[in-house]
Chain A
Amino acid sequence: MSSTAGKLVTWKSELDLDHHNLEDYLPSGSSINEPRGKLRLRDLLDISPTLTEAGGAIVDDSFTRCFKSNPPEPWNWNIYLFPLWCLGVVIRYCILFPLRCITLAIGWIIFLSLFIPINWVLKGHDRLRKKIERVLVEMICSFFVASWTGVVRYHGPRPSIRPKQVYVANHTSMIDFIVLEQMTAFAVIMQKHPGWVGLLQSTILESVGCIWFNRSEAKDREIVAKKLRDHVQGVDKYPLLIFPEGTCVNNNYTVMFKKGAFELDCTVCPIAIKYNKIFVDAFWNSRKQSFTMHLLQLMTSWAVVCEVWYLEPQTLRPGETGIEFAERVRDMISLRAGLKKVPWDGYLKYSRPSSKHSERKQQSFAESILARLEEK
């Protein structure tokens, strides 16, 4: 970060409500904000505050930090531990990994051999079919968790099936979903994935009531918003799970929560998930590896250690906007899971920031110049 004593300026959120808190965190324009007597050529030529900001951003920035994989600390650093580490590699790759593959295969065999007939036989009996399907989905997720020796500790009361409530959680990897799903079958809102994950999404998870969207398609947003409202109002639906960050973050930070989940006029139940990086980094860096590679990485590590907290349900307070509500819930989750908050929209991974942000800087610059010009 730049070392200039940047004065933090809180802007009235008149321009873009979605990013109302951004300027609270970033060093604003510069020290030229306060008029300091008459304007001279030196003051006009001195673009150092803006340059310092740019230099600081090139050297380090909080956005990139959110999506940086942090490999576990190597411990094979000395000659005595090294053979032990090698032994560990042999055990992990030659014994644990095949065993885990078998476990997963058995899981799939049981699952498919029950799921397909039931889907067929119980066509008329929707309630019973849904009940069994739900148990089966929970079961296959347990097999997945077992396949990477997931040591998951759940704190707090287990989610219940009630209408008018949504669960929101911080997002690190697609395995978040599996970890939560093995306890309770949630209906989840997810980005549509290619490959075998996409196939699973459109066949099995569809029956749990999951909702898919394509991040890049604008019209999908409206469809999803409508589906969301319908789902929440439905009585006999699975509890809805939303990852409001909209993208995987490395479990050290939280990025901005999308307000959609908080404007449904229903109870929001926060879930905080914290992974322990002792054996493996559970962050799925989707730019660097496919989900299959990510799973293989988890399956060849000793264990995935993680904690899940079901936090107290929250409702919109009188006079609170959706964004403030989202921020309040983000505070709770960040505090519980020990994550740092950054003001960025996670979608900036896929797009450029809007020109509004630089316009704001231009505005403050122009205002200070004009103010100083009038001072004689």
Chain B
Amino acid sequence: MGNTSSMLTQYDIEEVQSNCHDLFEQQEILSLYQRFCQLDRNAKGFISADEFLSVPEFAMNPLSQRLLKMVDGLNFKDFVAFLSAFSAKASLRQKVELIFKVYDSDCNGKVSSKDIMEVLRDLSGSFMSDEQREEVLSQVLKEAGYTSDSFLTLEDFIKVFGSSGPEMNVEIPVD
């Protein structure tokens, strides 16, 4: 009788909701919890890198290793907070912030051209040479008024993305 989702009390749900700026409905939290328990195979309370990689669609993602550093070992509350940027209700700033964090791998609050190069390398693999990548990067940086030595902050990112924010919505399946 009963199922895993009933283990969350109203209080728990509200706490999780406030931790993710109320970007998810109660039903969505419940179905995320089911998913969390499913991925957390031996009920440790967090999802390990290995368990994330057991999802082939995730393991195939070119950015999976980079994302793993961000999601490895998250508890349910932080797991939901991480996913909240994918909510359709999330603001442009929240979405850009997630993108910024992906670039800012050393978490120092600024993104150097080296950081961008690394992401570019993950995304293009062996299909672009280092020279090509450098050429692309220096060209677009120059056009946007930066040089290869400049550091981009979150504010710069928001400015670059402008009013048309990134399309980054994931629907939570609610059954």
A5 to chain B, nearest CB (A): 9
Which B122-165 residues have C-beta < 8 A from chain A? 123-128, 132, 135-137, 139-141, 143-144, 146, 157, 160-162
Is A353 on the interface with B (CB-CB < 8 A)?
yes
Q: Interface readout for A341-376 with B: 1 if CB under 8 Å, 0 if not?
A: 000100010001100011101110111011001000
Q: Is the CB of B140 within 8 A of A41?
A: yes
Q: Is the beta-carbon distance between B125 and A362 smaller than 8 angstroms?
A: yes
CA distance A3 to B99 in the complex (A): 18
Chain B residues near A44: list those with CB within 8 A: 116, 120, 136-137, 140
Report yes or no: B61 in contact with A353, Cβ–Cβ below 8 A.
no
Q: For B146, what are the chain A residues with a Cβ–Cβ distance below 8 Å?
A: 41
Q: Does B110 contact A (CB under 8 A)?
A: no
Measured as residues with beta carbon below 8 angstroms from the partner, the interface class of chain A is: 35 or more
Query: Is A292 among interface residues, defined by CB-CB distance under 8 A?
Result: no
- Per the bound structure, the CA–CA distance linking A369 and B161 in Å amounts to 18
Interface size bucket, B side?
A: 35 or more
Q: How far is the CB of B134 from chain A (nearest CB, A)?
A: 12
B161 pairs with A357, CB closer than 8 A? no
Q: Which secondary structure dominates where chain B touches chain A?
A: helix
Return 30 A-B CB contacts under 8 Å, by A number. A3-B169, A4-B167, A40-B143, A45-B160, A46-B161, A47-B123, A48-B95, A48-B99, A48-B166, A50-B63, A52-B167, A52-B169, A54-B63, A55-B85, A56-B86, A59-B86, A59-B173, A61-B57, A63-B55, A64-B39, A76-B1, A352-B56, A359-B126, A361-B61, A365-B123, A367-B127, A369-B128, A373-B135, A373-B136, A373-B139
Given contacts A41-B140, A58-B83, A59-B170, 18 further A-B contacts (CB under 8 A): A40-B144, A42-B161, A44-B136, A45-B157, A49-B167, A50-B63, A54-B63, A57-B55, A59-B173, A61-B58, A362-B123, A363-B125, A366-B124, A366-B125, A366-B128, A369-B124, A370-B132, A373-B136
Interface residues of A (CB under 8 A from B): 1-4, 26, 31, 39-64, 68, 74, 76, 287, 344, 348, 352-353, 357-359, 361-363, 365-367, 369-370, 373
Chain B residues in contact with chain A, CB under 8 A? 1, 32, 35, 38-39, 41, 52-64, 67, 71, 83, 85-86, 95, 98-99, 102-103, 116, 119-120, 123-128, 132, 135-137, 139-141, 143-144, 146, 157, 160-162, 166-173
